[in-house]
Structure 1
Amino acid sequence: MGKLWKKMTHKKDPKEYQKKDAHLLQVLGVKDFLALGVGTIVSTSIFTLPGIVAAQHAGPAVVLSFLAAAVVAGLVAFAYAEMSSALPFAGSAYSWINVVFGEGFGWIAGWALLAEYFIAVAFVASGLSANLQGLLEPLGFKLPVQLSAAFGTNGGVVDILAILVVVLVAILLSRGTSGAAAVENLLVILKVAAILIFIAVGATAIKTANYHPFIPAHKVNADGTSFGGWQGIYAGISSIFLSYIGFDSIAANAAEAKNPSKTMPRGILGSLLIAVVLFSGVSLVLVGMFHYSNYAGNAEPVGWALRHAGYPIVATVVQAIAVIGMFTALIGMTLAGSRLLYSFGRDGLLPKWLGELNKNNLPNHALGLLSGVAIVLGAIFPFAFLSQLISAGTLIAFMFVTIGIYRLRPREGKDLPVPGFKMPLYPVLPALAFLGALFVFLGLDHMAKLVTGIWFVLGLLIYIIYGMNNVEEQK
């Protein structure tokens, strides 16, 4: 146990990361990170979760769930902004925790984030496939049932469109991040335009009676979850929080940022602010157009609301752009996940070939592995039972980062550079950010916590059996 603890608390020298990441090309600016953040945060969830959470948990007060989740995400984002400014390394929380707490704790934080990226890439790919099929079917294009869904789902064997879209993103990123950033910037503009069109058109169909009562009376749903009252708003927060976790995808690419001490904070905080405004607008308009009960079990509430309000053409346009826009989230999650895997290989915690760069200084081995796992998860196996791991694992990493500020701040200006951004109201705000993330985590369902526990046991075994010893050999 003494050896294990010594290894887990062995802190990485930040100069080692600077040296290892020096070959990554610093080509991404503020607008690229804003596009990456907005593209990842404002993705599939904005077109689905406002209606679903309103019907299941919060009623018209769903906007309060979004705002409360945004407050917690914003507090964490402050910590992310300072960390990424002081420690602009690939791997985000994994690399930072390695420096401030030690190797083993960094692995735990990184392993938590890895669950997010594997599942999120698969989730978005499958969601894109389902929405694209819904758009194409009225035009007479329909895939055989065996190729239209994951294995064991509605007679499906493999989701061929999910496979193709993951492969397409992998090919795009394998050619470099600057080209991917250009595509990302264009698609994000289109997606934001679609959301603004929905808000503008949908606002003309709002009936104020649908907002009353704004906070319905509390009751317990058939599945044991809460609806109405503050309990329903709280349940909505935990369901919604995954909408905001995409800002980690910005931090994961810090080693490829121009002037990271300023670029990273602006990208992280700016993209989150844009996302909050868009989510709040969609939520208010959606529950104002129709009574929230109409959205129960509705996987496409935005399109449904527009069609039933008498705007079928607008509905088709918005949904078509939304499908294209999901591509942006796929780019962001794939990019960030591949950089995290690269970091694991770079440090020897996973096979070192994952940390190798090709002749163009790109970590394409890591990109290939991430894409392969995502294809298996999204196109072969049903993964609904793992979906809350996206939030659960990430919240654990968020808690590490927020308390990590207490270890980072005393070292700034000494063995670490003074960052271009510092978390305000220190030392109070880091504690509030930690408690906020813990608050959201406790609201997740029991199955999510159980699966998270299993994932962490697996990660700890990998560290003890392989990673810990392999890092020793590399020294």
Structure 2
Amino acid sequence: MAVESGSAAPDTLKAGALGFVSNLVIGIASTAPGYSLAATLGFIVAVTGIGLQAPAVLLVSFVPMLLIAAAYYYMNRADPDCGTTFSWVTRAMGPYLGWMGGWAIVVADIIVMANLAQIAGLYSFLLVGWDSAAASTAAVTAVGVAWIVIMTAICVIGIELSARTQVGLLGAEVLTLAAFVVVALVKVASGDAGPGSVDPSLSWLNPFAIDSFSALVSGLLLGIFIYWGWDSTVTVNEESADPTEGPGKAAILATVMLLLIYVLVAFAAQAYAGPKELIDNADDVLSALGKDVFGTPLDKILIIAVLTSAAASTQTTILPTARTSLSMARAKAMPRRLGHIHPRYLTPDVSTILMGALSIAWYVLLTIVSENILFDSLAALGLMIAFYYGLTGYACVIYYRRELTRSVKSFVLIGVAPLLGAAILTAVFVKSCIDLADPANSESGDSWLGIGPPLIIGIGFLVLGVVLMLWWRFGHVEFFRRKPEVVDPAVAAAAPGGDA
């Protein structure tokens, strides 16, 4: 699909630049597993009631992610477009919902970039022991902005450099987490763990041991957040060696590998410290356990894990947003300038730079206004995730609807699985709205019009998207005249599970 531009720029991204391993690395790194565990595990332990079922929550949270990953796989087979949700929902459900799906991706990525940048800035100082700078909002913000600038530049220079950077950052992160798991469990087995240690048990994987269904749902909301990001591997489909197969398979495998990482670290952390210690240090579980597990100065490697996690995710968050806006631009759903591709690097340079600039503006603005609003905006992120992941699941079923009865496998894998995943995420969206409406559930505890700020921020962004979409339609009706489509029967028949 050609990019419309007034310059003599190339009309495609750099095809064949990424192999399967690079796809997989981008998908895992985008979730920031080290940071996600550090910031979320303690809260998951807290909401499960008895505290020992955190691994069960992570297991249950994996289910909708795997189901939606199946939807990504089948939609990517039919349409390997870097716009992913935007392109697929447009094809299946029409241009209006497609535009909103693309908008949700852009907003979600910009929102999370502020938090990732802050973590990268903070941990840069913690790594070198500069505590006074770590306590300075201005210093942390300045370094966080620098991280965004560096990662934006890497994304512009080329997808291969981006992938190589990810391999290094993710490698350091995963090795550190693996070392933590091994050392913690060895100390538990040898009796060298702390007084709160608990012998690990497979019963921790049983979600039915959680006393309250409400507690399970609350844990599920947190769990879905820490899995979010694996879809980045599909946004680089046009730059992949096997665009119709590789990215989709990598997305599914990424969710499985994330499950292993999360469950193993949760087991090790709970066994070593016990639930109370994790709850007491919920803001940063890994750093709190680092000194006890590794001792000084080896505890620094956990700081490195969180730092590399945030840095890697900063980069891989830029990738999907730039490619979503590129896809929207060439479909005439956004200004065509956003579809410009750099003549040398073959990357969406204008979209990438704009993404970095908007992320910096959002981060600095929220830091100036209130750090509480920064965290409230992060709480609203779950709404965006559930919205566009759910849309993708529904789009898969609708797009393939005429082919679902070709076989039992087709009905289950292309129909039931994506539909169930979408239904779960719709329920999560509704539950999130109910929870976030309570001001007590916000970081600040403030009330805006009697409603919690996270809900105002989340719904406000969706409403803003509707306004911008209608404004764009006023002068650019061509895109909005597109009619929903169905999958080519030949494509459906060739898909695994799609044969009769």
Q: What range is the shorter-chain TM-score in?
A: 0.7 to 0.9
Question: Residues 62 and 233 of structure 1 are in contact (CA less than 8 Å); yes or no, is this contact kept in structure 2?
Answer: no
Q: Are 2:12 and 1:30 equivalent residues in the alignment?
A: no
Name the CA distance, whole Å, in 1 between partners of 2:259 and 2:235.
21
Q: Are 2:452 and 1:470 equivalent residues in the alignment?
A: no
Give 1:309 shift.
4.4
Equivalent residue letter for 2:282? N
Partner residue in 2 for 1:370: 355
Equivalent residue letter for 1:386? S
Select the residue among 291, 299, 302 that pairs with 1:318.
302
Name the CA distance, whole Å, in 1 between partners of 2:205 and 2:151.
42
Equivalent residue letter for 2:119? G
Select the residue among 382, 386, 394 that pairs with 2:377.
386
Name the CA distance, whole Å, in 2 between partners of 1:299 and 1:242.
15
Equivalent residue pairs, number: 436
Give 1:209 shift.
5.8
Partner residue in 2 for 1:263: 246
**Mapping 1:117-156, distance limit 5 Å:** 117-137=109-129, 142=133, 145=136, 147-149=138-140
Q: Deviations over 1:95-131 (max 9, x none)?
A: 1111111111101111111121111222211111122
Give 1:345 shift.
2.4
Name the CA distance, whole Å, in 1 between partners of 2:375 and 2:134.
22
Partner residue in 2 for 1:431: 419
Name the CA distance, whole Å, in 1 between partners of 2:134 and 2:218.
37
Give 1:69 shift.
0.6
Question: Residues 348 and 467 of structure 1 are in contact (CA less than 8 Å); yes or no, is this contact kept in structure 2?
Answer: no
Name the CA distance, whole Å, in 2 between partners of 1:202 and 1:144.
29
Q: Are 2:157 and 1:168 equivalent residues in the alignment?
A: no
Partner residue in 2 for 1:239: 222
Give 1:432 shift.
1.2
Give 1:435 shift.
1.6
SS at match of 2:12: coil
Structure 1 stretch displaced more, 372-381 or 269-278: 372-381
TM-score normalised per structure 1: 0.84
Name the CA distance, whole Å, in 2 between partners of 1:449 and 1:85.
35
Give 1:203 shift.
0.9
Name the CA distance, whole Å, in 2 between partners of 1:467 and 1:22.
24
Give 1:474 shift.
11
Name the CA distance, whole Å, in 2 between partners of 1:271 and 1:213.
25
Question: Residues 136 and 142 of structure 1 are in contact (CA less than 8 Å); yes or no, is this contact kept in structure 2?
Answer: no
**Mapping 1:225-304, distance limit 5 Å:** 229-295=212-278, 296-304=280-288
Name the CA distance, whole Å, in 1 between partners of 2:254 and 2:107.
23
SS at match of 1:275: helix
Name the CA distance, whole Å, in 1 between partners of 2:473 and 2:202.
56
Partner residue in 2 for 1:441: 429
Q: Are 2:443 and 1:452 equivalent residues in the alignment?
A: no
Instruction: State the superposition RMSD in angstroms.
Output: 3.1
Partner residue in 1 for 2:185: 203
Structure 1 stretch displaced more, 201-210 or 114-123: 201-210
Give 1:304 shift.
1.3
**Mapping 1:341-380, distance limit 5 Å:** 341-360=325-344, 361-380=346-365
Give 1:43 shift.
4.5
Name the CA distance, whole Å, in 1 between partners of 2:164 and 2:341.
22
Select the residue among 24, 42, 46 that pairs with 1:51.
42
Task: Summarize the Cα distance change of 1:109–1:205 in structure 2 as closer, same or farther, 3 Å threshold.
Answer: same
TM-score normalised per structure 2: 0.80
Question: Residues 67 and 417 of structure 2 are in contact (CA less than 8 Å); yes or no, is this contact kept in structure 1?
Answer: yes
Name the CA distance, whole Å, in 1 between partners of 2:252 and 2:200.
33
Name the CA distance, whole Å, in 2 between partners of 1:334 and 1:464.
26
Question: Residues 350 and 467 of structure 1 are in contact (CA less than 8 Å); yes or no, is this contact kept in structure 2?
Answer: no
Question: Residues 337 and 370 of structure 1 are in contact (CA less than 8 Å); yes or no, is this contact kept in structure 2?
Answer: yes
